[in-house]
Amino acid sequence: MPSFLLPANTPRSFYRGAGRIGRFRGIPSADDLYYPEDWVASTTSRHGAAPAGLTTLPDGRSLAEAIAGDPLWWLGEQHVAEHGADPAILVKLLDAGERLPLHVHPDRRFAADHLASPYGKTEAWVIVSAEPEAAVHLGFTRDVEPGELARWVADQRIDQMLDATNRVPVRPGDAIVCPAGLPHAIGAGILMVEVQEPTDFSVLLEWEGFAVDGPAVGHLGLGYDQALGCVDRSGWGAERLNELRRARPSADARPGVRRLFAEFADEFFAAERLRPDPVSVLEPAYSIIAVTDGAGLVTSEHAPPVPVKAGDTLLLPYAAGWCTLRGAAAVRCKPAQKSTEGLPD
């Protein structure tokens, strides 16, 4: 069966959700609110807490094991040539029941130098639902000196840090790229599809009031003197921020498909909004689909059709071939790849 409907996969976290993932998926929400993330088709484990975060397939294998056993079937020849047997992507549903702490993710150069990883953690957000006043904090409004940032973090001067960031209102349908290194905090009242590089690297700039020991674990084991070296301390004005929201037009104009992210994201991952008219046409690719609205049907060259509805998450391997989605609206996430020319015959 070359397509997989996936159940929720929710490792425990240190911030609270609000039950939105359960309501979105149409499943009971846990009484414990510290499960605000659903790691979809994940071959990435929680930092320092493996195997938490890894996806288990319906047949009992971990997705990582299954891909390692037949990478060409799952990922396709071009992907394997570029990335090996690594999907090179992590997708989550994220429910911000409270404002997340201000934090930052290292880029690839920092991760290679200090964390023995080829990946940093550039990420991007597709807003599924948002309360009327919902917003994210994204980048500093001015250049911040290293000593000033170090004092803010050491003394937990949270108001000063937040006052120095850009508060960016969000609404359903927005798509925003968050480059590695950029300080950010997702505000309360937001449900999103988050696509990112496949790591769980975070440096906490803020931890007071959260269920985490920042001085002990907030610096990736590097110590804050070194960890703060990954922070983009430059000022981000309106034009730079707008570039993070400016989607690049689709090159191949497949029916019912619209690119979501700015060109900056292309070397890391891709995402598309699927609005069938009457179908969305999907080229062969390892991809994760989050159905956001309605009910419909996914058909593929090499498998029976799969009925889907809002809240479903579907994993499509490369071997599914050309696919179509009818009826439902969705977000499709894919690893970085070169453009696919042409449409199916």
pTM of this structure: 0.94
Quick: pLDDT tens for 279-312.
999 999 999 999 999 999 999 998 889 999 999 9
Judge contact between 325 and 274, C-beta under 8 A.
yes
Q: How many CA atoms lie within 13 A of 204 on its CB side?
A: 23
Q: Look at the chain and count its residues.
A: 345
Burial class (CB in 10 A: 0-12, 13-18, 19+), 286: buried
Assigned token pair, 33? 């609110």
Judge contact between 177 and 270, C-beta under 8 A.
no
Q: How far is CA 145 from the centre of its chain?
A: 30
Quick: pLDDT tens for 24-81.
999 998 889 999 999 999 999 999 999 999 999 988 999 999 999 999 999 999 999 9
Assigned token pair, 268? 């890391």
Write down the pLDDT at residue 309: 97
